[in-house]
Structure 1
Amino acid sequence: MSELKILGISGSLRADSYNSALLRAAQKFAPSGVAVEIYEGLRDVPLYDQDLDAPERRPAAAQELRERIKAADGVLLVTPEFNYSIPGVLKNAIDWASTDWTRTEGVPLLHKPVAITGAAPTNFGSVRAQLALRQVFVCIEADVVVKPEVIVFQAHERFDEGGNLTDETTRGLLQDLLTALAGKVTSRSATAA
């Protein structure tokens, strides 16, 4: 079997983001047979506008995001928590990737295997943002990994000054999450065959 391609998206634009560091750790410590490709274009995706959400009018950055999600075997979302919920930039990206008004292209996130994690320096980590994302994915009908739930709380204690994940427990949970995501991809492929 060929290597599974997972598209990783950090919901934070901040240069020293714990979530982007967690995504880099997922890439570095991915289990055998899983490759995490980090999406770097979130900052370029314009605000969602349904008037532009058609193949001939869609902004290039939004179209590229859709194509990258379609091409991936699965998606790993790493989210901070803003105001007890999902950061606007991440919700915006999901909005662009969850439509097909023309009924000609397919919905990139429909039935797509998705895993969610996140980090924050608080005692609750990104638990509320992850719950909000799970609710969004019920509507979209993405195939979300239910367990393990990986909520990296007190993130400032789990990374060194260079942004490297130093906590072994978190590393193991992250690997378990990617293994569960790979399992969803594999079972979906077997069902489709």
Structure 2
Amino acid sequence: MSVKVLALVGSLRSGSHNRQLAEVARSLAPSDVEIEVFDGLGDLPFYNEDIDTEADVPAAATRLRDVAGAADAFLLFAPEYNGTIPAVLKNAIDWLSRPFGAGALSGKPTAVIGTAFGQYGGVWAQDEARKSAGIAGAAIVDEVELSIPGSMTRFAETHPADDPEVVEQLATAIAKLTANVSA
């Protein structure tokens, strides 16, 4: 059985270290795990129930929901913006939480990891992302924690793929997440 993991990156910046982490995670996936890094979170309009109808749901939201619906698990990459979750990631969670009680996140193993400039690596944002995804129905995999501090200096001259500690921690995170997918 192949496990499909959807990675959502909470940074739209072209040189995003969290995006780099997601790409490294994809490259580290074992042969029975496929990690898709979703492109298009920046295209999602802010969640609004008035446009979340069969007649009006935006194409970007339909695309996200379709890809998420086919996923067995989620890996969220959360940088920290002003001490909390980035709006783009929170917005994606909001779109995936609907319809209430039956959204694409419902019951699926979900882990939150990431890197940030601060000395704690974005733990506040990651905690908020876990909270939001959990309320949206995701099955949060609490044993997966990876907060890499000092991203701007740590990855200034070294790509995350060339950092043995990061590679080992990402591989462990993937293994723990996918171990929670029901056969």
User: Same-fold call, TM > 0.5?
Assistant: yes
Change (3 A) 1:169 1:162: closer
Q: Is the 8 A contact 1:74 1:112 kept in 2?
A: yes
Residue 123 of structure 1 corresponds to 119
**Separation in 1 of the partners of 2:8 and 2:157?**
22
**Separation in 1 of the partners of 2:38 and 2:136?**
21
RMSD between aligned residues: 1.7
User: In the alignment, which of 167, 170, 173 is matched to residue 174 of structure 1?
Assistant: 170
Residue 50 of structure 1 corresponds to 49
SS of the residue corresponding to residue 29 of structure 2 reads: coil
SS of the residue corresponding to residue 162 of structure 2 reads: coil
Q: Is the 8 A contact 1:158 1:166 kept in 2?
A: no
SS of the residue corresponding to residue 111 of structure 2 reads: strand
**Separation in 2 of the partners of 1:136 and 1:47?**
16
Taking only the aligned residue pairs, the percentage that are identical comes to 38
Q: Is the 8 A contact 1:118 1:152 kept in 2?
A: yes
Q: Is the 8 A contact 1:11 1:87 kept in 2?
A: yes
Provide the aligned length of Structure 1 versus Structure 2.
Answer: 183
Q: CA deviation at 1:29?
A: 1.4
Q: CA deviation at 1:79?
A: 1.0
**Separation in 1 of the partners of 2:65 and 2:179?**
23
Q: CA deviation at 1:137?
A: 2.5
Q: CA deviation at 1:157?
A: 4.5
Pick which of 73-82 and 28-37 moved more.
Answer: 28-37
Q: Provide the TM-score with structure 1 as the length reference.
A: 0.88
Q: CA deviation at 1:158?
A: 4.1
Deviation string for 1:113-134 (max 9, x for gaps)? 1111111122111100011111
Residues 99-178 of structure 1: pairs in structure 2 closer than 5 A: 99-100=98-99, 106-159=102-155, 161=157, 163-178=159-174
**Separation in 2 of the partners of 1:21 and 1:35?**
17
Q: Is the 8 A contact 2:114 2:121 kept in 1?
A: yes
Q: Is the 8 A contact 1:159 1:166 kept in 2?
A: no
Change (3 A) 1:153 1:31: farther
- Unaligned 5+ segments in structure 2 are none
Residue 24 of structure 1 corresponds to 23
Residue 73 of structure 2 corresponds to 74
Q: Is the 8 A contact 1:145 1:184 kept in 2?
A: yes
Q: Provide the TM-score with structure 2 as the length reference.
A: 0.93
Residue 91 of structure 1 corresponds to 90
